[in-house]
Every structure is written in structure tokens, then in C-alpha cells.
Structure 1
Amino acid sequence: MAGLQHHKIALDPAIIRLGNMSSNRYRYFRWTPRTAWITFMYVAVVPSIVGVIAYSTDGKYDLRAKRRGDIISEY
């Protein structure tokens, strides 16, 4: 058993290039208007929307000790 090399397959060059590109992505990154806009959306807009929704529904739902048929909204 020792010394046998199982699963010998031919490596696809396209998959190897994709792996190298993925691991070296930071070297090829450029700030463009599109990447700046996407970054702004993920850093500022999405957390703001989640925060507004969380603040508006704070304390509205109580899921503790509910039985079948009980409503979960408090007000």
C-alpha cells in the first residue's frame, strides 16, 4: 500500500490558470468606477439597509415560549 500513487489524472491547463489567477487576484486588481461602486454598496448601503430594518423591528417579534396558534408580533 505504501508508495502507490493513486488517482493519477491529467491536469487541465485552464483549471491551473484559473487557480493561479484566483490566488493572485490582488496583483491584478484595479480601482475602476465599477469596482468603487460595488465596494461602496457592500460597505455602506447594504449594512445601512440591514440596520434600518433591524432598528424598525427591534422588539416587535418575540419567539420565546410560543405555542401553536400564538402570534409572534408583540404590537
Structure 2
Amino acid sequence: MAHGPTPLRLDPAYEKYNQLNKERYKYFKWTPRTAWISFMYAVFVPSVVGYVFAKTDGKYDMRGKLRGDTISEF
């Protein structure tokens, strides 16, 4: 690797964003809003998706269907 000036000019706004993103843990604070969002993404959404997949497991079959055939198995 060559050490010296980079051939590209770095964008100061992007560099600031990158630095903030690396140190995000220093500025994070638990609030009711962040707790609610975390709960939704960690518990609620996967539960709903899992429930829908479990209820429709085996109901639809896309393989070997011809025009006019139904995709619903039951």
C-alpha cells in the first residue's frame, strides 16, 4: 500500500457522518420512543411474520401449475 495523498477528495460531510456512526454508542440514550422501536423490531415484527408463515405453511404450491390451476392447496 502506498502512503501519500489519496487520489480522491474526501467529502467532509461524509467523513463527519462516518465518525458519528462509529461513535453512536456514546450518544445513544434509552427513551420510551427508542425502547418502543426496539421492541417492535426485535419482538413484534418477527412474531407477526412467523405467525403468518406458520398459518400459511403448505397452503400455496407454485410448482408445476398450468394456466387456470389454483395455487391454493386447501
RMSD across aligned positions (CA): 1.9
Q: TM-score, normalised by structure 2?
A: 0.77
Aligned identity (percent) is 54
Between the two proteins, the alignment pairs up a number of residues equal to 70
Corresponding residue of 2:65: 66
User: 2:51 and 2:20 mapped to 1: Cα distance?
Assistant: 38
Point out where structure 1 has 5 or more consecutive residues left out of the alignment.
none
The runs of 5 or more residues in structure 2 that have no matched partner are none
**In 2 relative to 1, CA 29–70 (structure 1 residues): closer, same or farther, beyond 3 Å?**
same
Letter in 2 for 1:45: F
Where has structure 1 moved over 6 Å in runs of 4 or more?
A: none
Normalising by structure 1, report the TM-score. Answer: 0.76
Distance change in 2, residues 1:61/1:15 (3 Å):
same
